[in-house]
Amino acid sequence: MKRAYSLITIKNVNEDERVIEGIATTPTTDRMGDIVDSEGAQFKLPLPLLWQHSSNEPIGHVIAATVSPDGIAIKAKFAKTLEPGTLKDRLDEAWQSVKLGLVRGLSIGFQSIESARIKDTWSEHYLKWDWLELSCVTIPANMEANITNVKSADRALLAASGYRQRAPVYLTSTPGVSGQPPARRAGVVYLNPPKEKKS
């Protein structure tokens, strides 16, 4: 199974709905040098939302996905249970990790249907692909794909409970993955990552 990564940006939080919105992938060259065409995706909703690409650790579902030439916008809902136990602990840990910005990445898991080698590289351009799952991951690689919203259903209730909405959390430096960033964008500060590839 192939993977392609993206970043998270949190705008607000909803403890009740546990819904996130964002970009699952873009056709930007990722840190492995690969390109995944968003319009080549083949999938059926709902898709599994996994924790760190572990098929043994599902945490919810992708409930909406809009494909465009610029990427795939998604809405995903984290599962929630009130019953104490291992499952509740995992679901709560995953949600809190994303909400607090400790886990800032999204990653698509997919199988290639049609691809072409990118000239003079070992990298692939994935033209058609079977989208299998979306994961919340710690280390992202695609700088342009991101979670844009962690939704709030009842802000008045949250305010009454003493909750204060967090300011947006934006990643303005290169995440901790070796490789080269995509084309630099105005208003974003980039650090110079090491040039060697991960094995």
Q: DSSP characters for 28-72?
A: S--TTS-EE-GGGEE--SSEEEEETTEEEEEEEEEEEEEEETTEE
**What's residue 97's pLDDT?**
92
Residues 6+ apart with CB under 8 A from 18: 60, 77, 78, 79, 80, 95
Indicate the residue type of 69. Answer: P
Are β-strands 47-51 and 35-36 bridged in parallel, bridged antiparallel, or unpaired? unpaired
Q: Could you tell me if residue 178 is inside a domain?
A: no
Domain holding 27, by residue range, is 2-160
Q: Could you tell me if residue 173 is inside a domain?
A: no
Q: Could you tell me if residue 21 is inside a domain?
A: yes
Domains identified in the chain, total number? 1
**What's residue 3's pLDDT?**
79
**What's residue 25's pLDDT?**
84
Residues 6+ apart with CB under 8 A from 119: none
Average pLDDT per consecutive 10 residues, the chain (199 residues; last block may be shorter): 66 72 83 90 97 95 94 90 96 92 86 95 95 86 56 43 41 42 43 44
Whole-model pTM: value is 0.70
Give the span between the Cα atoms of 72 and 24, in whole angstroms.
6
Dihedral, CA atoms, 12, 14, 17, 20, nearest 10 degrees? Answer: 30
Q: Could you tell me if residue 199 is inside a domain?
A: no
Q: Could you tell me if residue 105 is inside a domain?
A: yes
Q: Could you tell me if residue 60 is inside a domain?
A: yes
- Pair 25, 4: CB distance under 8 Å: yes
**What's residue 178's pLDDT?**
42
**What's residue 44's pLDDT?**
97
Cis peptide, bond prior to residue 46, ω within 30 of zero: yes
